[in-house]
Amino acid sequence: MNIIITGGAGFIGSHVVDRYLKAGHSVAVIDNLSTGSVKNLNPRAKFYKLDLKNHSQLDKIFKREKPEIVNHHAAQAEVRRSVDDPIFDAQTNIIGGLNILHCCVKYKVKKIIYANTGGALYGAAPSAKLPVREDYPIKPESPYGMSKYTFENYLELYSKLFVLKYTSLRYANIYGPRQNPQGEAGVVAIFIGLMLANQSPKIFGDGRQTRDYLFVADVAQANVLALTRARNQKINLGTAQQTSVNQIYKMIAAEIGFTGKPIYSPAIKGEIRRASQNWDLAKKKLGWSPKVDLATGIKKTLKKKHSRPDLDNPFFALVN
C-alpha cells in the first residue's frame, strides 16, 4: 500500500515507518523536523519537510503520492507548552489535523490511523478506575489533551460525513530508542540522557505520580495491525501497569550505575497524578498485546548499538 506518515522523522513515527517498509509498503514521510530528526529517517522512505499548516503544499504531496492510508503522528506533544501557548497547540493539533482530513477526503484515502494520547484524555482518574477503559469519561486537564480529543472527534465526524475509516490509538507513555531527551517529552529519555552525562535529573512534584510505560516496538506493531483492523475504533495501547517516576529513576540509575540523587521541583500545572490503561479492546480488535516489560525495555533503550553506521546517537537503534 501507499502510505503517508506525518511525524515520520520523530521518535515513534520513525519506528512505524521502519515497520511499514519492512512489511513491503511504500512510505512517504511528512515532517517539519521541529522535534524529529533526519537521523531517524529510513533512507527507503520518501521525505517531505513541511508544516501541516501549509495546506497548499500538503495538497500537492497528496496529489503526487496518492496514499491509501495516512498515519498521523505529527503533533505538538508537550503538556507544558500547551498550557503556556494553547493557541499554538490548537493550530498544530487541530488546524494541521483538519488540513490532513481535507486532503484525505479529496484524494480518497481509505483510512487514517491516528496517534492519540491516553493519559491526557482521561485526566485524573481515581485509583479504583485504573487501568481505565475506552469508555471512561474524557476529562482533559490541559490544552494538549483537549486538542488531541478534539481531533479524535473530527475523525468520528468525518467517518460519518465522508465514509473515511479511522483507528484512533490512545497511547500510554511511550519510551525507547530514538526518543530525544532534549526534544519530545519522555521521562525515560530525559533521565537516561542526564545520568549518562553524570547529572542529576529533575523530578517535578514528589515523584510518586504514576504512568503506564509502553515500549515503542509494541506501539509500532499496533500500527501495523491497524492497517487492516479495528475500523472506526478508539483503542487504548498500554500495559495496565502503574510505575512511579521515583521507581523509573531507581531502575535507570541501577542499570547505568548512577549514584546521584534527583532534584525535586514543584509539580507542573496540567499534569495528571496517575495513569494506566486497560488494553483488552486492543487484544479483541487488533489482536495486540504488549510484549516488552519495563525492565527489558530500559535495557534495550540503553544499548548503544547503531542500526545505521552513519549515526552517532547512542539512543538510536532499530528495534526488532
Q: What's the whole-model pTM score?
A: 0.91
Report CA 215 to chain centroid distance, whole Å: 11
Residue 185 has pLDDT above 70, yes or no: no
What's the average model confidence in pLDDT over 99-119?
98
Q: How confident is the model at residue 127 (pLDDT cuts 50, 70, 90)?
A: confident
What amino acid occupies position 190?
I
**pLDDT computed for residue 312 by the predictor:** 40
Residues in CB range of 112: below 8 A, 6 or more apart: 69, 70, 71, 72, 100, 101, 104, 155, 164, 165, 166, 167
Residues in CB range of 141: below 8 A, 6 or more apart: 120, 123, 124, 270, 271, 272
Encode pLDDT of 206-239 as tens digits.
999 999 999 999 999 999 999 999 999 999 999 9
Encode pLDDT of 156-166 as tens digits.
999 999 999 99
| Residue whose cell numbers read 534527583 | 262
Residue 306 has pLDDT above 60, yes or no: no
- At the fourth CATH level, the homologous superfamily of domain 2-302 is NAD(P)-binding Rossmann-like Domain (3.40.50.720)
Domain positions in the chain: 2-302
**pLDDT computed for residue 13 by the predictor:** 98
**Are the CB atoms for 162 and 105 separated by under 8 Å?**
yes
Residue 305 has pLDDT above 60, yes or no: no
Residues in CB range of 228: below 8 A, 6 or more apart: none
In the chain, % of residues over pLDDT 70: 93
**pLDDT computed for residue 102 by the predictor:** 98
Residue 320 has pLDDT above 50, yes or no: no
Q: How confident is the model at residue 87 (pLDDT cuts 50, 70, 90)?
A: very high
**Are the CB atoms for 144 and 89 separated by under 8 Å?**
yes
In sign, the C-alpha dihedral spanning 16, 163, 132, 282 is negative
Torsion of CA 252, 254, 256, 262, to 10 degrees: 60
Q: Would you say how long the chain is, in residues? A: 320
Residue 315 has pLDDT above 70, yes or no: no
Residue 310 has pLDDT above 60, yes or no: no
Catalytic residues: 144
Q: How confident is the model at residue 183 (pLDDT cuts 50, 70, 90)?
A: low
State the average pLDDT for the chain: 92
Encode pLDDT of 241-270 as tens digits.
999 999 999 999 999 999 999 999 999 876
What's the average model confidence in pLDDT over 65-91?
95
Encode pLDDT of 132-174 as tens digits.
999 999 989 899 999 999 999 999 999 999 999 999 999 999 9
**Are the CB atoms for 313 and 38 separated by under 8 Å?**
no
